[in-house]
Chain A
Amino acid sequence: MQRLLFIIQKEFIQIFRNKGMLPLITVVPIVQLIVLSFAASNEVKDVNLAIVDLDHSQYARELVHKIEVADRFILVDFPPATRHGDERLQDGTVDIVLTIPPDFEQDFFKNKGAAVQLLVNAINGQQATVGAAYLSTIVRDFNQEIQQDVLPVRRLAAGAPRIEIASSNWFNEELNYQYFMAPGIMGELVTILVMLLTAMNIVRERELGTIEQINVTPIKKWQFILGKMIPFLIVGLILLTVGLTAGKLIFDVPFRGSLWVIFAYCLVNLAAVLGLGLFISNISDTQQQALLTTFFFVIIFILLSGLFTPIESMPTWAQYLTVPNPIAHFVHVMRSVLLKGSTFGDVLYNFKVTAVLVVVFNVLAVSSYRKVV
Chain B
Amino acid sequence: MLKIFLAFVRKETFHILRDTRTLVILFGMPIALVLIFGYTISNEFKGASIAIVDEARDALSAELIAHLTASGHFELVAQPPDMAGMEKAFQTGEVKLGIVIPAGFEQSFFREKRAAVQLLADATEPNYATTLTNYATQMITAFQQEQGRVEVLPYQVGVHIQMLYNPTLVGAYNFIPGVVALILMLICAMMTSLTIAREKETGTMDLLLVSPLSPMVILLGKVTPYVVLSFVNAVIVFLLGYLVFDVPVRGSIVLLLVLCLLYLMVALGLGVLISTLAATQQTAMMTSLFTLLMPTMILSGFIFPIASMPTALQYAAHIIPAKYFIEIEKNIMLKGAGWEAVQFSSLVLVAMMLFLFAAAWRNFKVVYD
Contact = CB atoms under 8 A, between A and B. Distances in A.
A29 B289 CA distance: 11
Contacts of B290: 24, 28-29, 32
Given A124-B174, A304-B40, A161 B148 contact: yes
Interface string A337-365: 00111110010000000000000000000
Given A32-B294, A342-B91, A113 B335 contact: no
A313 B45 contact: yes
Contacts of A166: 116-119
Nearest to A107: B157
Contacts of B214: none
Contacts of B33: 299, 303
B338 to A, nearest CB: 11
Contacts of B368: none
B43 interface: yes
A332 B156 contact: no
A320 B33 CA distance: 18
A39 B304 contact: yes
B212 interface: no
Contacts of A136: 159, 161
A288 B114 CA distance: 68
Interface stretch (B135-143, B231-239, B261-269, B350-358): B135-143
Contacts of A260: none
A303 B282 CA distance: 24
Interface centre among B90, B109, B128, B159 (most CB of A within 10 A): B159
Interface string A290-305: 0111011001100110
A171 B93 CA distance: 13
Interface string B295-314: 10011010111011110110
Given A114-B157, A288-B194, A313-B44, A123 B91 contact: no
A73 to B, nearest CB: 12
B167 A122 contact: yes
B29 A289 contact: no
B91 A341 contact: yes
A170 B83 CA distance: 12
A151 B198 contact: no
Interface stretch (B1-9, B217-225, B252-260, B273-281): B273-281
Interface in A33-55: 35-36, 38-47
Given A42-B308, A169-B121, A151 B148 contact: no
A108 interface: yes
B283 A24 contact: yes
Contacts of B47: 312
A313 B43 contact: yes
A125 B301 CA distance: 12
B369 interface: no
Interface in A99-135: 108, 111, 113-129, 132, 135
Given A127-B305, A343-B91, A39 B299 contact: yes
A176 B124 CA distance: 8
B309 A39 contact: yes
Contact of B114 (A111, A162, A175): A162
A119 B91 CA distance: 43
A142 interface: yes
A70 interface: no
Interface string B144-169: 10011010011111111111111101
A195 B287 CA distance: 16
Contact of B308 (A44, A146, A287, A313): A44
B204 interface: no
Contacts of A207: 202
A287 B166 contact: no
A129 B41 contact: no
A142 B155 CA distance: 12
Contacts of A42: 43, 127, 304-305, 308
Interface string A271-283: 0000000000000
A167 B133 contact: yes
Given A32-B294, A175-B126, A175-B129, A340 B90 contact: yes
Q: What 5 pairs across the A-B complex have the smallest Cβ distances?
A: A115-B158, A169-B123, A122-B166, A172-B123, A175-B126
21 contacts: A20-B278, A21-B286, A24-B287, A35-B299, A42-B305, A45-B308, A111-B154, A116-B158, A121-B165, A123-B173, A132-B163, A143-B157, A161-B113, A165-B116, A165-B119, A175-B130, A200-B281, A200-B282, A287-B282, A312-B46, A342-B91
